[in-house]
C-alpha cells in the first residue's frame, strides 16, 4: 500500500477495540478486522439477501454479497487515489450491509414497523449489533471485537435517541462531528455502486428500458459517448459500456472534488477531519445528475407495480413471522427462546433480520402452510 496521507486513518494509531487485543503478527489491526468480517456467518448470509429483486428472481441480479464487493472495489480505488487507508475502506464496505433484513428495503421497513413500540429497527444499527454482539465465534468476547474506526464507519446513520445509547461510536452524531475520510469514501462508494447496478439490474429485468433511462442526463450523456465510440453497438454490451463509463465518471469526479476539498482545508490529522465539514463529495453538477437518476429509479424501478407486488408479499412474510413469534415465543428455535425471556421483541428482530430471503420464505411456509410438516 502506498504511503498514507497525514489525514488518513492509520491502524497503528487506532482508538482500539472494545476489548483490548495486541496487534497480530503479519497483519495490521484493520486487516484483522477485514478478515474477521469475511469469516463471519453474517457475511456468508449476504449471498442470499437482495435489495430490489428477491433472491429467486434470477441468478444474475446483484445480491448483498456482490454489492458489498462492488462497494469495496470502488471504495479502494478512491481511497488509493486520495492516499487514504484502503484496508479500512474495504473492511467497512464488506461489513456495511451485515445487518440488513431479508427482502431488501421492504423487509427493513416492515421490521421497523413491527418494532415501533420496541425501539424500532435501523439496519445500520443492526450491522453494528452483528459485529459487536450477535456473531458467536470467539472464546473471549461476543461479536467480532472490531476497531473503533471500522465500527464508526459501519454506523453510517443513527437517530439522536439511539446515538445517546451507542457510547463511543454514537458521540459524533451528538457533537456534530464527521467520521474518518475512509468512512465518508465508503458511504459514497455505496451510492455509486447501487445507483449503477440498479440501472444494470433494472434493464436486465425489463422493468425499465433504455428509452426511459435516456430521459436522465447522466445516463443519456454516457449512452451518447458510447454510441459515438461504438456505432451500432446494442444489447448487453451497449448497457455495460454505458454503465462502466458512468461509474468511471462518478469515481473520477469524486476523487477530484474531494482532493480539492482536502487541499482547501489541509487537515493535518484525522482529528482535523472530524472537526471539518464533510470533505468527500461529488461536484455540484454531478450531485444534481445523480439526484435526477435516483428520482428516476425511485419512480420507475423501486415503485414499479411488479416490485410493489413482491414487496407486499415479502412485507407480509416479515410481519406474520414477527407477530406469531411475539404471540408464541415457544415457536422460536431454543437459543432464541432463551434470549427472548429478557428482551422478546429485540430477540425476534435479531432472528428475523438474520434470515436470508429463502430462509424467511421457508420459515413462513413451515409455520403457516398447512400441507407443510
Enumerate binding residues for Mg ion (CB under 5 A): 97, 190
Q: Which CB, 7 or 194, lies closer to Mg ion?
A: 194
Nearer to Mg ion, 96 or 364 (CB): 96
Q: Show the cell assigned to 371.
A: 400441507
**In the bound complex, what is the minimum distance in angstroms from residue 97's beta carbon to Mg ion?**
5
Q: At closest approach, how far in Å is the CB of 8 from Mg ion?
A: 23
Q: How far is the CB of 350 from Mg ion (least distance, A)?
A: 20
Q: Which is nearer to Mg ion, 97 or 122 (CB)?
A: 97
Helical residues (DSSP H) of the chain, grouped into ranges: 29-38, 41-45, 64-81, 86-95, 104-114, 123-129, 148-154, 160-163, 171-175, 181-205, 210-213, 217-229, 235-265, 270-275, 284-297, 305-327, 334-340, 344-354, 357-368
- CB of residue 291 vs Mg ion: minimum separation in angstroms? 18
Which DSSP state fits 17? B
Closer CB to Mg ion, 182 or 190, in the complex: 190
Closest alpha carbon to 76 in 182, 178, 195, 191:
182
CB of 328 to Mg ion, least distance (A): 34
CB of 311: closest distance to Mg ion in angstroms?
18
* Of 32 and 96, CB closest to Mg ion: 96
Ramachandran quadrant class, 111 (left: phi over 0; alpha: psi -120 to 50; beta: rest): alpha
At 153 the three-state DSSP class reads helix
Residue sitting closest to Mg ion (CB): 190
Does residue 178 contact residue 273 with C-beta atoms inside 8 Å? yes
**Cβ nearer to Mg ion, comparing 7 with 48:** 48
CB-CB contact of 81 with 185 (8 Å): no
Amino acid at each position: 500500500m502506498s504511503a498514507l496521507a497525514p489525514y488518513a486513518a492509520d491502524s497503528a494509531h487506532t482508538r482500539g477495540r472494545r476489548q483490548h487485543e495486541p496487534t497480530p503478527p503479519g497483519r495490521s489491526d484493520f486487516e484483522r478486522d477485514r478478515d474477521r468480517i469475511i469469516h463471519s456467518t453474517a457475511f456468508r448470509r449476504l449471498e442470499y439477501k437482495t435489495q430490489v429483486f428477491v433472491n429467486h428472481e434470477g441468478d444474475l441480479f446483484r445480491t448483498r454479497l456482490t454489492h458489498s464487493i462492488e462497494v469495496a472495489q470502488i471504495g479502494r480505488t478512491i481511497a488509493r487515489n486520495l492516499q487514504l487507508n484502503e484496508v479500512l475502506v474495504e473492511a467497512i464496505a464488506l461489513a456495511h450491509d451485515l445487518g440488513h433484513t431479508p427482502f431488501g428495503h421492504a423487509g427493513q421497513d416492515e421490521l421497523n414497523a413491527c418494532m415501533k413500540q420496541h425501539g424500532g429497527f435501523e439496519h445500520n444499527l443492526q450491522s453494528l449489533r452483528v459485529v459487536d454482539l450477535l456473531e458467536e465465534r470467539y472464546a473471549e468476547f461476543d461479536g467480532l471485537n472490531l476497531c473503533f474506526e471500522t465500527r464508526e464507519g459501519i454506523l453510517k446513520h443513527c437517530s439522536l435517541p439511539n446515538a445517546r445509547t451507542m457510547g463511543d461510536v454514537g458521540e459524533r452524531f451528538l457533537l456534530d462531528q464527521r467520521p474518518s475520510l475512509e468512512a465518508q469514501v465508503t458511504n459514497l462508494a455505496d451510492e455509486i455502486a447501487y445507483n449503477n447496478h440498479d440501472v444494470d439490474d433494472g434493464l436486465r429485468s425489463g422493468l425499465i428500458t433504455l428509452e426511459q433511462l435516456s430521459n436522465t442526463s447522466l445516463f443519456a450523456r454516457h449512452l451518447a459517448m458510447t454510441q459515438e465510440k461504438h456505432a451500432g453497438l446494442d444489447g448487453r454490451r451497449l448497457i455495460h459500456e454505458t454503465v462502466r463509463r458512468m461509474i468511471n465518471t462518478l469515481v473520477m469526479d469524486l476523487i477530484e472534488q474531494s482532493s480539492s476539498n482536502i487541499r482547501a482545508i489541509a487537515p493535518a490529522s484525522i482529528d482535523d477531519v472530524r472537526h471539518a465539514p464533510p470533505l468527500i463529495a461529488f461536484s455540484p453538477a454531478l450531485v444534481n445528475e445523480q439526484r435526477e437518476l435516483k428520482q428516476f429509479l425511485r419512480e420507475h424501478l423501486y415503485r414499479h407495480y411488479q416490485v410493489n407486488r413482491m414487496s407486499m408479499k415479502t412485507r407480509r412474510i416479515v410481519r406474520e413471522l414477527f407477530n406469531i413469534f411475539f404471540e408464541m415465543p415457544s415457536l422460536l428455535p431454543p437459543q432464541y427462546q432463551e434470549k427472548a425471556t429478557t428482551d422478546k421483541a429485540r430477540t425476534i428482530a435479531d432472528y428475523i433480520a438474520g434470515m436470508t430471503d429463502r430462509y424467511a420464505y421457508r420459515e413462513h411456509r413451515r409455520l403457516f402452510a398447512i400441507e407443510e410438516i
